[in-house]
Amino acid sequence: GCAVSPKPPTQATNTALYARARAASRSWEAVPVAERAALVGRAADSLAARADDVAAVIVQENGKPLVEALAHDVLPSVQYLRWLEDHAADVLADRPTSLTWMPVRSAVVRRRAHGAVLVISPWNFPLAIPLAQVATALVAGNAVVLKPSELTPRAADVLISIFAHLPDGLLTVLHGDGAVGAALVEAAPDAVVFTGSLATGRRVMAAAALHPIPVSLELGAVDAMIVCDDADLELAAAAAAWGATCNTGQVCASVERILVQASVAD
């Protein structure tokens, strides 16, 4: 049910790609959410069975230690797929609500799929980040076009393989650099999910605003660790060192500054 583009796409190709994804999404959204979650959740067993091989790919491609590849990419991905299978139907269920300006009327909040969702993912967690975003969008009834980092393309092959049982057109992977990602945004998908730098995030938001389409951005920041005077200081010191150096610091929530109460600063 998945496809990989063999060459950089043209604008016409991107437009046709999104049309195909929207058609797939319409059929997929008609499937009850519990069934969608069960189908997407099946990928957890496939990923768990291949955990060592997948972790080896991440080590070779990304360079992180094997223990981090397993603990930060593979295991969380398996756990999240199983969480979706167990909880997605409840999260996406219709919710009754009230219309305060028309108290005699009843209303329901009903969550609908966007259609064709573009996911642009980074290299620092080349499996866990795109998998969570792709799986969430799929369970919600969308079709996904994934543009993984050009630095870690093989990790995207894992997604293609573990979701291969899904209906045709629901997941397409397009490899390439930032120019490919920019062209995909300009071709106007129905929503964009981007994880990366602040500078690129601004460009993604500006391009999406021309259409306009919804955008979800996860960008860099300057993250603070706060240590209070009642903290276990040995644990806090170890946590600070780990938080700053894990994944060589290439983490959206890595420890980049430490705020310590003066009474325990020394």
Query: pLDDT by residue for the chain (266 residues), tens digit each?
Result: 555 555 666 778 888 999 999 999 999 999 999 999 999 999 999 999 999 999 999 999 999 999 999 999 999 999 999 999 999 999 999 999 888 887 778 889 999 999 999 999 999 999 999 999 999 999 999 999 999 999 999 999 999 999 999 999 999 999 999 999 999 999 999 999 999 999 999 999 999 999 999 999 999 878 899 999 999 999 999 999 999 999 998 998 899 999 999 999 99
228 is an active site residue: no
The whole-model pTM stands at 0.90
Q: What is the pLDDT of residue 34?
A: 96
The residues, ordered by sequence, that sit 6+ positions from 99 with a Cβ below 8 Å of its Cβ are 105, 106, 107
In angstroms, the CA 247 to CA 172 distance is 28
246 is an active site residue: no
For residue 189, the tally of other CB atoms under 10 A from its CB is 28
In angstroms, the CA 149 to CA 62 distance is 11
In angstroms, the CA 158 to CA 57 distance is 9
Give yes or no for a contact between 145 and 5, defined as CB atoms under 8 angstroms apart. no
The residues, ordered by sequence, that sit 6+ positions from 62 with a Cβ below 8 Å of its Cβ are 69, 123, 124, 126, 151, 152, 155
In angstroms, the CA 63 to CA 250 distance is 12
How, if at all, do strands 95-98 and 106-109 pair?
antiparallel
Compute the radius of gyration of the chain from its Cα atoms.
Answer: 21
The residues, ordered by sequence, that sit 6+ positions from 32 with a Cβ below 8 Å of its Cβ are none
Q: What is the pLDDT of residue 3?
A: 58
Instruction: Please tell me whether the peptide bond between 212 and the residue prior to it is cis, using omega within 30 degrees of 0.
Output: yes
Catalytic residue among 150, 218, 228, 256: 218
